[in-house]
Amino acid sequence: MEKSLPSAGKLWLVGAGPGDPDLLTVRAARLLSMADLVVHDGLVGDGVLALIPDGVERISVAKQRSRHTMRQELINELLVRETLAGKQVVRLKGGDPFIFGRGGEELEAAREAGVACEVVPGITAAAGCAAQAGLPLTHREDASAVSFVAGQCKDLSDQDWSGLAGHGRTLVIYMGLATAGAITDKLIADGVSPDLPVAVVERGTTADSRVLRTLLTDLGDLVAREQVASPALIIVGKVAARADALDCLGAPGAAKNMQKIGDFT
């Protein structure tokens, strides 16, 4: 008798949103409940991980203190191998898979290996943090363009910061804590006003998030003074002055911890 073939596996690159499990998409939640294997990174919130049913295999490729993150090539190999073995594999990533999430590399690896792959978008940190802070990334009065920039990239010095911030623009910096001072210097050297409002959202949409406001010239000092910890997002532009103490998403504790620094009025 012919041995039946294993059912075809599939890889799903799924955005987990910025932390609050309520910000998961319905599709992402559905996929978590039918997955054979979930491969997640450290940014995925505990509340989201709690939605993975018991018995579903999980692999964390999160950064650990003593170890580096699993190398991207090894993650790609793992995803391809497990999917080719016939599993429904959910690769769960913080925010959106295609925004600083290396989802593009994983999709390419899947394509090269002939593995079926589908991408499920997630709410990126910029959208989640801005909503929580009551800070519109665009505003008819203040900003008609938004840039998402990585503060830590292969060659930060090669990044052309000119034109990314200033009149009519909002600059959102991911992974910018370590380089906040250097970025500030570059922006000011490019002619951006040192008095431009800035908001820093730490652990956005989670129970212990903080929203800090200051002026561009003080950004580096604020990060050090307040010991802002990762993950945190930096939003530079006039819209940052609109950040308020409203707890728009209802994340418990967010309003309590909301801090305002700097006076924009």
Catalytic sites, residue numbers: 41, 63
Closest separation in Å from C-beta 122 to ligand SAH: 7
Q: C-alpha distances in angstroms, 197 versus 35, 113, 129, 180, 215? A: 44, 47, 16, 14, 5
In whole angstroms, what is the distance from residue 133 CA to residue 244 CA?
Answer: 6
Q: Give the dihedral of Cα atoms 94, 96, 101, 107; nearest 10 deg.
A: 120
Tell whether residue 100 is a contact of ligand SAH (CB under 6 A).
Answer: yes
**Is the Cβ of residue 9 or residue 249 nearer to ligand SAH in the bound state?**
249
Strands (E), 35-193: 37-40, 57-60, 88-93, 117-120, 145-150, 169-174
Looking at the Cβ atoms of 87 and 249, the one nearer to ligand SAH is 249
User: Contacting ligand SAH (CB under 6 A), which of 109, 125, 180, 236?
Assistant: 125
CB 145, min distance to ligand SAH, A: 19
**Nearest distance from residue 171's CB to ligand SAH, in Å?**
13
Q: Does 69 bind ligand SAH (CB under 6 A)?
A: no
> What is d(CA 91, CA 24) in angstroms, rounded to the nearest whole number?
14
Q: Which of 31, 83, 169, 174 binds ligand SAH (CB under 6 A)?
A: 174
Closest separation between CB of residue 9 and ligand SAH, Å? 24
Which range touches ligand SAH (CB under 6 A), out of 53-61, 93-101, 161-169, 189-197? 93-101
DSSP 18-58: SS-GGGS-HHHHHHHHH-SEEEE-TTS-HHHHTTSPTTSEE
Six-digit token pair at 67?
Answer: 């170890």
Does 205 bind ligand SAH (CB under 6 A)? Our answer is: yes
Chain centroid, CA 68 distance in Å: 19
Contacts with ligand SAH, residue ranges (CB under 6 A): 18-19, 43, 93-96, 99-101, 124-125, 129, 174-175, 201, 203-205, 230-233
